[in-house]
Amino acid sequence: MHNKQQYIDKIDIDKFQKPNIYNKFLPFYDTVKQQSVESFKEICENLSRIIQLRELRPGFPLWSSKLQQFISLYGFCFNKNDHLKLIHLYLSVLTIPNLNYSNAKACFDMIGELLNKSRLITRDNLIVDWRLFYTWAKLILFNKDPSYSLIALPIDIENSLLCCVQCCRPYFSAASTQEILDEFRPWLCPFDSAFRDAMCFLDLFLPVHLPPDLHDQGFKLWLPELLGIWESVCSNPEWEQNMINIFSFVAWFNIGYIEWEPWLPKIFTRILKKFSLPVANVQVSSQTQIYSISITATWIVAMMGNGSSCLQYLKDLFTAIKSFYHPSNTGDFQQDLVSFLSNLAQTFLDRVHL
């Protein structure tokens, strides 16, 4: 019993990444602390054995789910070195030739879980190759075999992939922006159907989290070009929402570093147009695809400050749509207008607490 207590006391929880802070208030905290260390050791041993024996089925999904349960119960109750080893383990599994989709989904889920708290792992600690996920994106997002029942994709594998890439984007290398542009620039013809696929991939992979000293290798390589394309095309294409997503995210993660002033009139004009508000008794065609309300609100809030006239343009926008908030004006547009106001307020609070 004395040796067991000494073992528990030796566990230095301060070296762990982010353990569950509520466990320490439990009356049996010492037991929980010991169980967490023993459980993590068992999970790591079994994952290692599975890889060494090259027997992913059925052990890999099983012990991956146990790791997920471990994080849910104990938090990131392991040190940074172990954290990085787990990430590299799952990234390496994704490189296995002919890996089945179930194991790939397990990897996506676990990588997303392990990288969910980006402050725990910095770019100095980890660099992720975007081409690995590009290969899987082509297999999953643009795979026509499931429609012919030739393969069966796991449920929600697309969402798992998208969430995983979203968590990995901050760790793409500085050179990845140029590599992505070299890959997809030949597709950027607005009159070609391949343009839609290119915008989907750019929306998914373009690094928008690069630090200020790497901006010359980041958004400065492509932002003016994409803004020019967006301005020149007014036919309500399907890929326009992908482009708005890119603009919104790059604005949010680079607040104060982008000069939006020359584009503000065009941006707010497009936003007003996309609300499809009726003029007199004439209802605007419902074929106009409205921008995502939350994405639009994020973009607007991110452009505020640093002497920008964004607030004045926002004031003018509300002046233009003020009458449509009156209860006597009913229509399909009302829900979007109310949602816009709500999202704008929420996003502003999010920026205050950045």
DSSP state for residue 193 in the 8-state scheme: T
Please spell the DSSP secondary structure of 98-157, one letter per residue: T--HHHHHHHHHHHHHHTSSGGGS-TTT--B-HHHHHHHHHHHHT--TGGGTSS-PPTTH
pLDDT (0 to 100) of residue 4: 46
Is pLDDT of 53 > 90? no
Give the length of the chain.
354
157 assigned to some structural domain:
no
Whether cis (ω within 30° of 0) applies to the bond prior to 58 is: yes
Q: Is the pLDDT of residue 200 over 80?
A: yes
Q: What b/e string do you get for 100-127 counting C-beta neighbours within 10 Å, with b at 16 or more? A: ebbbbbbbbbbbbbbbeeeeebebeebe
pLDDT for the residue 340: 93
pLDDT at 227: 94
- Does the pLDDT at position 284 exceed 70? no
Residue 2 banded pLDDT, cuts 50, 70, 90: very low
Helix (H) or strand (E) holding 19: strand 18-19
DSSP string, 210-276: --GGGGGGTGGGTHHHHHHHHHH--S--TTHHHHHHHHHHHHHTTTTTS--GGGHHHHHHHHHHHT-
Output the pLDDT for position 54.
Answer: 83
Q: What are the beta bridge partners of residue 75?
A: 19
pLDDT, residue 279, reads 73
Q: Which of 56-70, 137-151, 257-271 is the least confident region? A: 137-151
CA distances from 69 to 36, 74, 112, 157 (A): 11, 8, 14, 19
Q: Does the residue 209 lie in any domain?
A: no
Average pLDDT over the chain, rounded to an integer? 88
Answer whether residue 304 is part of any domain.
yes
* Domain end point (choices 80, 106, 121): 121
Residue at 270 is within a domain: yes
Q: Report pLDDT for 7.
A: 44
Domain end position, chosen among 121, 137, 155: 121
Give the mean model confidence (pLDDT) for residues 154-162: 90
Mean pLDDT of 113-124: 90
Low-confidence winner among 49-53, 150-154, 208-212, 316-320 (lowest mean pLDDT): 150-154
Final residue belonging to a domain, choices 121, 143, 171: 121
What pLDDT, on a 0 to 100 scale, did the predictor assign at position 121?
92
SS3 76: strand
- State the pLDDT at residue 55: 83
Dist. CA 282–CA 293, nearest whole Å: 23
Placement of tokens 């052990």 in the chain: 59
DSSP 3-state of 343: helix
Q: Of residues 233 and 131, which shows the higher confidence score? A: 131
pLDDT of residue 281: 61
Could you tell me the sign of the dihedral formed by the alpha carbons of 261, 256, 241, 316, in that order? negative
pLDDT exceeds 60 at position 5? no
Which pLDDT band, with edges at 50, 70 and 90, does 8 fall under? very low
Residues 92, 61, 99, 152, Cα dihedral to 10°: -150
User: What letter would DSSP give residue 185?
Assistant: G
Give the torsion sign (CA, 302, 304, 309, 310).
positive
Euclidean distance between CA atoms 227 and 267, whole angstroms: 10
Whether residue 289 lies inside any domain: the answer is yes
| pLDDT top residue among 89 and 6 | 89
Q: How confident is the model at residue 1 (pLDDT cuts 50, 70, 90)?
A: very low
Phi and psi at residue 18, to the nearest 5°: -155, 80
Decide: residue 246, CB within 10 A, 0-12 exposed, 13-18 middle, 19+ buried: buried
- Give the C-alpha separation, 292 to 245, whole Å: 9
H or E element in which residue 37 lies: helix 29-53
CB 161 within 8 A of CB 137: yes
Residue 69 lies inside a defined structural domain of this protein: yes
How many domains are there within the chain? 2
- pLDDT for res 328: 81
Q: Residue 149 above 60 pLDDT?
A: no
Domain of residue 285: give its range. 259-354
pLDDT at 222 over 50: yes
Cα dihedral across residues 215, 219, 224, 225: positive or negative: positive
Q: pTM value?
A: 0.88
Residue 267 lies in a domain: yes
**In whole angstroms, what is the distance from residue 298 CA to residue 351 CA?**
9
Note the pLDDT tens digit of each residue in 303-352. 998 888 999 999 999 999 998 888 887 777 888 899 999 999 999 999 99
Half-sphere exposure of 191 (CA within 13 A, CB side): 1
203 domain residue, yes or no? no
